[in-house]
Amino acid sequence: MSCIFCDIPTAKLLAENTLAVAIYDKFPVNKGHVLIIPRRHFADFFDATREEISAIYDLLHRTKTMLETELKPDGFNVGINVGQTAGQTVMHLHVHLIPRFKGDVENPRGGVRKIKPNLVPYEE
Ligand code: AMP
Ligand code: ZN
């Protein structure tokens, strides 16, 4: 079975530890869009072991620090698509770390809630 996230060339790794790796997304939502990927092949975030979650968390922090130094973003979105219905296209778990910049969208209010734009409006 071939899987793009099982076969990442070492030269593409931004950071790594024993259980996970980090790379730039090939089709970034914003400059600096990073993916944190466990080394083990499985699709579902909820199948990750506590050790894998810890390894992913470590790389999330390390790459967040790298992005802050390099790009000085104003915020981040962190997200995981779990299952095709939720939008997952690569069936090897990956956590999106997306730097956000003031003005990168007209109205950022709602953030990841915008997966269903017609449910977004809320004011309080
Ligand atoms: P998802 O929809 O959560 O499964 O996200 C898959 C992500 O993988 C998307 O953000 C793609 O842009 C990204 N992607 C697809 N192919 C590659 C690749 N060869 N290298 C790096 N990222 C990729
Ligand atoms: Zn894989």
Domains of the chain: 10-102 (3.30.428.10)
Give the β-pairing of 34-38 and 20-24.
antiparallel
Give me the sign of the Cα torsion angle 3, 81, 36, 103.
Answer: positive
pLDDT for position 62: 98
Residue pLDDT, tens place only, 44-95: 999 999 999 999 999 999 999 999 999 999 999 999 999 999 999 999 999 9
Give, using CA atoms, the residue closest to atom 11 of ligand 1. Answer: 27
Residues less than 5 Å from ion ligand 2, measured at CB = 3, 5-6, 41, 92
Q: Which residues line ligand 1 (CB under 6 A)?
A: 4, 23, 25-27, 35, 81, 87-90
pLDDT for position 1: 72
Find the catalytic residue in 33, 61, 94, 96: 94
Token pair 């080394």: residue: 39
pLDDT for position 121: 60
Stated pTM of the model: 0.94
Tell me if residue 22 falls in helix, strand or coil. Answer: strand
Give, in order, the Cα–Cα distances in Å from 86 to each of 44, 53, 82, 90. 11, 20, 6, 12
Mean pLDDT rounded to a whole number for the chain? 94
